[in-house]
């Protein structure tokens, strides 16, 4: 078993960007529509791409931060109980963009993104994020990018070990989700 090491999130993140605020309509999208995510797309610490709105045609050119596979989306601005919520994006979602209230995180090739997602959704990490969030309103809190990137995560030095752990927890999460969908007796 390889050693585990404490790393600042900023040491393993290669990019942290947010989208732009655009005018949109809350309706079911058609095939040609370009959409922006709602902040609720990660409110349960899972990525839900159906939580989106259709960008008004006149503002499509303003969409600046596409959803990309093998990234983590983080709610940088939300209510106190949802700020810092995040979701792992496994697949491709063409014509889907981030708003200004969400960050997209990309990582070094030397880390397994699904493992990092698992670490960011632990109670300990969520408490750290909640403690670093601030705001003047009781309804809306923000996370400073510098504070978020200074957060410590514990990571196995061996990428294969990270992958094995990340895969295990992803399968466990899928199994739990599957059982939650089953109807009771």
pLDDT tens for each residue of 41-88? 998 899 999 999 999 999 999 998 999 999 999 999 988 888 999 999
Write down the pLDDT at residue 182: 61
Instruction: Find all residues with CB under 8 Å of 140, minimum gap 6, and list them.
Output: 77, 78, 79
Do 84 and 117 meet the contact criterion of CB atoms below 8 Å apart? no
Nearest to 121 by CA among 42, 61, 179: 42
Do 141 and 148 meet the contact criterion of CB atoms below 8 Å apart? no
**What is the model's pTM?**
0.88
| Cα angle: 79, vertex 81, 86; to 5 degrees | 90
pLDDT tens for each residue of 86-105? 999 999 999 999 999 999 99
Residue of 174 and 96 predicted with greater confidence: 96
Which helix (DSSP H) or strand (DSSP E) does residue 155 occupy? strand 152-156
């Amino acid at each position: 078993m390889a050693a585990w090491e404490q790393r600042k999130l900023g040491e393993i993140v290669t990019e942290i960007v947010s989208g732009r605020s655009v005018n949109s309509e809350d309706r079911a999208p058609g095939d040609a529509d370009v959409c922006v995510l709602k902040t609720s797309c990660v409110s349960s610490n899972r990525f839900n791409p159906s939580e989106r709105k259709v960008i008004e045609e006149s503002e499509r050119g303003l969409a600046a931060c596409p959803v990309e596979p093998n990234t983590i989306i983080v709610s940088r601005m939300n209510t106190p109980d949802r700020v810092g919520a995040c979701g792992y994006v496994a697949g491709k979602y063409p014509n889907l963009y981030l708003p200004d209230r969400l960050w997209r995180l990309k990582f070094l090739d030397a880390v397994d993104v699904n493992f990092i997602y698992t670490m960011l959704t632990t109670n300990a990490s969520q408490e750290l994020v909640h403690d670093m969030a601030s705001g003047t309103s009781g309804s809306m809190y923000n996370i400073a990018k510098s504070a978020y990137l200074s957060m410590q995560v514990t990571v196995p030095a061996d990428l294969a070990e990270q992958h094995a752990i990340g895969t295990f927890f992803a399968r466990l999460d899928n199994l739990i989700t599957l059982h939650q969908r089953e109807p009771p007796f």
